[in-house]
Chains A and B, each alone.
Chain A
Amino acid sequence: GNSVTQMEGPVTLSEEAFLTINCTYTATGYPSLFWYVQYPGEGLQLLLKATKADDKGSNKGFEATYRKETTSFHLEKGSVQVSDSAVYFCALAPGSGGSNYKLTFGKGTLLTVNP
């Protein structure tokens, strides 16, 4: 079945530091890939997505590139802010040809950014 493995946290950075959170996946077919973010006390919200190989998703200074050859979708940001402190989830959807109708999530990575 489909699975997502992401970097274990927690990750603690200083403001303006560079962020990478690694994510690799196992899937059949042509999955879509997502990064979701969960701020304290809230539900998850979509941060960015990519639906095919070599696509780059970007939002709020975050980027991730869908690499089929390495089955990866690493999240990066050049300069983090205190407001980026949250839990980040990598997720996989089976794509339009899939029939299992669910997003598969990684375990989440807690990011804390200190001023």
Chain B
Amino acid sequence: KAGVTQTPRYLIKTRGQQVTLSCSPISGHRSVSWYQQTPGQGLQFLFEYFSETQRNKGNFPGRFSGRQFSNSRSEMNVSTLELGDSALYLCASSLYGPNTGELFFGEGSRLTVL
């Protein structure tokens, strides 16, 4: 069974640009969560989607947005990039959500903002 796939794996942007990251969950998983990982802040929750509905959102500015499609694939978008947005963005999927079950993580998309 294929794991969680994130694309692109690496990308470099400049301040002010916008970026879209993609996540394909494990087949049959309907929940997708996104996290930002940085050395200073650790793993910070961005949002969680289940069957195309956002059920929870972390404390990030409105520049960070996401969506989920009917096939459970998810995208997140960051507009007007800032240097501090440089991070590893991790996507995780699960059958019903993170409340009691295991999350399966992708390898992440490493974003560098110059």
Contact = CB atoms under 8 A, between A and B. Distances in A.
Nearest to A32: B100
B43 A108 contact: yes
A96 B56 contact: no
Contacts of B107: 41-43
25 contacts: A34-B102, A36-B105, A43-B4, A44-B92, A46-B103, A51-B100, A93-B99, A93-B100, A94-B99, A95-B100, A96-B99, A96-B100, A98-B99, A100-B56, A101-B31, A101-B55, A101-B56, A101-B97, A101-B99, A102-B58, A103-B45, A103-B98, A103-B103, A104-B45, A106-B42
Nearest to B105: A43
Chain B interface extent, by class: 20 to 34
Contacts of A105: 35, 42-43
Given A100-B56, A101-B97, A103-B98, 16 more contacts: A43-B90, A43-B92, A43-B106, A43-B107, A44-B105, A45-B105, A51-B100, A89-B42, A89-B43, A93-B99, A94-B99, A95-B100, A96-B100, A101-B50, A101-B99, A102-B58
Query: Which 6 pairs, one residue from A and one from B, show the smallest C-beta to C-beta distance?
Result: A43-B105, A107-B42, A105-B43, A101-B56, A101-B55, A44-B105
Contacts of B75: none
A32 B98 CA distance: 10
Interface in A1-48: 32, 34, 36, 41-46
Given A98-B99, A101-B99, A103-B103, A43 B108 contact: yes
Interface in B58-113: 58, 90, 92, 97-103, 105-108
A102 B100 contact: no
Contacts of B55: 101
A43 B43 CA distance: 12
Contacts of A45: 105
A48 to B, nearest CB: 10
Nearest to B3: A43
Contacts of A51: 100
